[in-house]
Amino acid sequence: MKHYFHPMSRGATTDWMLTELEAPHEKIIIDFFAGENNSPEYRAINPMGKVPALEDEGRIVTETAAICAYLADKYLDKGFAPAVSSPDRARYYRYLFFPGTTLEPMFSVAQLGITDFNPQSVGWGDMDRCLATVESMTPKSGWVMGERFTAADVVFGGTLDFAIQFGWLKDASPTVAAYVERIRARPAYQQTHPQSGAQ
Ligand SMILES: N[C@@H](CCC(=O)N[C@@H](CS)C(=O)NCC(=O)O)C(=O)O
């Protein structure tokens, strides 16, 4: 597998997933600060010119959450996803999709100071609803699927971690702050996020 990423990007999340899984792969740094993501070669991999991207035996996966989900399924025996036929997939999918489709856009518009939208028609609703949802979805102990840490924690917990680091999520509740602390204590997180200052 080839992992196209940059350590100072959302690619840190997919790097973390690969590390949790101890999945053999080649790391290819795409320096988007230097415009390497705009080369025709990289645009053929991801027409968005975004990192991360994963190439596995000719198959391309883009989007951080999709890469994490793909990897957890590829290495299903390692226990980072519920069995495909398990009813637990219902809960698992919510945590994989909510951050990218709803939470990130809400944080982005809030950072940009955009308020002129109809919360009933935009997918992210409004900040109050997003924060209430984060609060209700955040586990009070352990991980989002219970005792077992899964790709859903990498995606959901990773997004909350970014949000706190970048000041998008101010005044995290004690429940959210404690969950993010558990996330940051994972050895694979620390290996792949040296800039976060995690011990
Ligand atoms: N929706 C994408 C977003 C990826 C993304 O925005 N990556 C940024 C770095 S964190 C990037 O590649 N920026 C370079 C550019 O857009 O030119 C995902 O979840 O993977």
Instruction: Find the CATH number of the domain harbouring 179.
Output: 1.20.1050.10
pLDDT in tens, 135-190: 999 999 999 999 999 999 999 999 999 999 999 998 999 999 999 999 999 999 99
C-alpha to C-alpha distance for 57 and 146, rounded to whole angstroms: 33
> What is the whole-number distance in angstroms between the Cα of residue 144 and the centre of ligand 1?
25
- Say yes or no: 102 and 178 in one domain: yes
C-alpha to C-alpha distance for 160 and 183, rounded to whole angstroms: 10
DSSP string, 12-26: HHHHHHHHHHT---E
Contacts of 183 by beta carbon, 8 Å cutoff, 6+ apart: 153, 157, 158, 160, 161, 189
CATH number at residue 70: 3.40.30.10
- Say yes or no: 110 and 184 in one domain: yes
Q: Looking at residue 34, what is its pLDDT?
A: 97
> What is the whole-number distance in angstroms between the Cα of residue 6 and the centre of ligand 1?
10
Q: Say if residue 199's pLDDT is above 60.
A: no
Ligand 1 neighbour 159 (Cβ under 6 A): no
pLDDT in tens, 119-133: 999 999 999 999 999
- Say yes or no: 7 and 51 in one domain: yes
Residue given tokens 């709803």 in the structure block: 102
> What is the whole-number distance in angstroms between the Cα of residue 26 and the centre of ligand 1?
20
Q: From the alpha carbon of 62, which atom of ligand 1 is closest?
A: 20
Ligand 1 neighbour 20 (Cβ under 6 A): no
Q: How many domains does the chain have?
A: 2
User: Based on the number of CB atoms within 10 Å of its own CB, is 59 exposed (0-12), middle (13-18) or buried (19 or more)?
Assistant: exposed
- Say yes or no: 74 and 95 in one domain: no
Q: From the alpha carbon of 51, which atom of ligand 1 is closest?
A: 12
Q: Looking at residue 194, what is its pLDDT?
A: 81
- Say yes or no: 130 and 46 in one domain: no
- Say yes or no: 23 and 109 in one domain: no
Residue 15 pLDDT level (bands cut at 50, 70, 90): very high
pLDDT in tens, 74-97: 999 999 999 999 999 999 999 999
- Say yes or no: 122 and 142 in one domain: yes
Task: Confirm whether 198 is domain-assigned.
Answer: no
What mean pLDDT is predicted for residues 28-38? 97
- Say yes or no: 93 and 188 in one domain: yes
Residue nearest to atom 1 of ligand 1 (CA): 63
Q: Say if residue 196's pLDDT is above 80.
A: no
In the listed set 51, 78, 105, which residue is the last one of a domain according to the structure?
A: 78
Give me the domain span that covers residue 53: 2-78
Per DSSP (E only), the strands in the chain are: 2-5, 26-29, 53-56, 59-62
User: Are the beta carbons of 155 and 67 closer than 8 angstroms?
Assistant: no
Task: Confirm whether 43 is domain-assigned.
Answer: yes
Alpha carbons within 13 A on the beta-carbon side of 143: 21
- Say yes or no: 93 and 178 in one domain: yes
- Say yes or no: 97 and 71 in one domain: no
33-57: string of b/e by CB count within 10 Å (b at 16+)?
Answer: eeebbeeeebeebbeebbbbbbbbe
What mean pLDDT is predicted for residues 24-44? 98
Residue 195 pLDDT level (bands cut at 50, 70, 90): confident
Task: Confirm whether 58 is domain-assigned.
Answer: yes
pLDDT in tens, 100-115: 999 999 999 999 999 9
Ligand 1 neighbour 105 (Cβ under 6 A): no
DSSP 8-state code for residue 68: H
